[in-house]
Chain A
Amino acid sequence: MNHDEIAGRLLVACSARLDTDAGPQGTAFFVAPGFAVTAAHVIRGVNGLRVRLSEGPRNWRGRVVDVRPPLAREIAATSPYPAPDAALIEVDEGPPPACALLAKDPPPENALVMARGYTLTSGQRAVTAETETFRLTGMLETTDPDCTLLKLGLGEARHGMSGGPVLDLRTGEVIGMLRTSRKPGSNLGGWVVPAGLIRLLWPEEVGLAHDRFHEQYPLWRETASQLRDRQSTEGTQASPSIGTIQAGVVSVINGDNNGPVNIEYGPGSGRRGSGTR
């Protein structure tokens, strides 16, 4: 399994398609036990909205518990949605997911990143997962003084990718959440809500719970470390496997490059991560 395949599997492990009663709406990803985030416009800014998340055979049910900024009549139909454009989902039903390792600081300029989302690219009748690589090209200040978005380029942000995680391929950390295309149908990239801001928006539900989770289950950090090691040696020799990564939360079973990522909680861990909330 090469560097990009490992990164892809990390993205699969934490991301999910988001549906409401109105059908598929976009993407979300898990950031802490029992919590996922998506873009506010994906759930149309509706606090309390019931949502369904799914990734392959795994399904979750949840409810939007906070929207930033909250929906106001004058922004109901605007695009782009005002910054930061983020919503918190409390998951109350479903198997234990893997939580993304959120970066505290933005990556350096020109960093190579990969996003994952659920789009209609493969056909207008089917929503399927899609990844895309980008380069970090800059920052974008917004009317919210506390929110500076990350700008991506050299990749296409497709409809359905909103709410999806963006992974730094160098560090293996999720740098933020994709929310906007800079120009649909082009490779001009998009805007990202920084992971550091997501942590600050919900310091307890995401910030503290996220940190506790990754202290208790260091698997993602270990995988990220191997990702960095692999990056330094990539190109000299492709390895068929990075070895089985064992921990309580995520098991990336290797040796089968086309196989799925297996998500498992360790013995004795609760559905929401052993009381890490």
Chain B
Amino acid sequence: MGRWGTTSEIVQVMLPSGDLIWVRVEAEQAATSDGDSGPVDVGLGQWIAPIAETLRLPGFTQTVRGVVTSVRQALDEHRPDSLTVKFGIQIAVKAGAVLSVLAEAGGSVHVTVTATWDRRDAAIPPGSEEELEMK
């Protein structure tokens, strides 16, 4: 209730590798049903505890793996010699929990896929680039 006094906070999160990084997250303004936040105890621990408890950034690994796996499956029959996937991860605070989700831009999630083939007999010309837009 009312834990987040501002719309943006810098928090420390732990990547699956164990590395700690500082990220800026967009925080929800807690509010009551009439849109006006009420009295809140102003201890420090209660304020930073939700961040500490979710240091491990749940969903990060699954998000990355899901995107990469999906792209690889989509191009499986074409078997490219190299594959580059570019996408953004947005770290957000929802209901006091830190989440990692695919970054949105204008309501769309952009994943840029670059696949290359060195073989001359490939069905798709060498150096072809394909951009996927996910909504």
A residues near B (Cβ < 8 Å) are 20, 22-26, 39, 41-42, 44, 79-81, 85, 117-120, 124-125, 127, 157-163, 178-185, 190-191
Closest to A183 in B: B37
12 A–B contact pairs at CB < 8 A? A24-B44, A42-B44, A79-B1, A79-B2, A79-B40, A124-B11, A159-B46, A160-B44, A181-B42, A183-B2, A183-B40, A191-B39
Would B41 and A39 count as touching, CB distance under 8 A? yes
Q: Give the residues in chain A near B6, CB-CB below 8 Å.
A: 185
Which of B10, B39, B48, B52 makes the CB contact (< 8 A) with A180? Answer: B39
Chain B, residues 22-52, CB within 8 Å of chain A (1/0): the string is 1000000000000011111111111111001
Per the bound structure, the CA–CA distance linking A157 and B5 in Å amounts to 11
Total A-B contacts with CB atoms under 8 angstroms apart:
95
Per the bound structure, the CA–CA distance linking A78 and B67 in Å amounts to 39
Which of A41, A118, A178 makes the CB contact (< 8 A) with B46? Answer: A41
B118 contacts chain A at the CB level, 8 A cutoff: no
**Contacts A23-B52, A24-B45, A25-B45; A183 near B39 (Cβ below 8 A):** yes
Per the bound structure, the CA–CA distance linking A191 and B10 in Å amounts to 28
Q: Give the residues in chain A near B131, CB-CB below 8 Å.
A: none
The range of chain B's interface size is 20 to 34
Which of A24, A182, A183, A190 has the most chain B CB atoms inside 10 A of its CB?
A183
**Contacts A79-B2, A124-B11, A159-B5; A22 near B41 (Cβ below 8 A):** no
Would B43 and A80 count as touching, CB distance under 8 A? no
Would A181 and B39 count as touching, CB distance under 8 A? yes
Q: Give the residues in chain B near A20, CB-CB below 8 Å.
A: 45
Q: Give the residues in chain A near B48, CB-CB below 8 Å.
A: 23-24, 120
Per the bound structure, the CA–CA distance linking A85 and B40 in Å amounts to 12
Would B42 and A159 count as touching, CB distance under 8 A? yes
Per the bound structure, the CA–CA distance linking A161 and B43 in Å amounts to 7
Q: Give the residues in chain B near A161, CB-CB below 8 Å.
A: 42
Rank and list the top 5 A-B pairs by shortest CB-CB distance, nearest first.
A185-B5, A25-B45, A184-B5, A160-B44, A162-B43
Would A81 and B41 count as touching, CB distance under 8 A? yes
B9 contacts chain A at the CB level, 8 A cutoff: yes
Would A80 and B40 count as touching, CB distance under 8 A? yes
Would A124 and B43 count as touching, CB distance under 8 A? no
Would A80 and B41 count as touching, CB distance under 8 A? yes
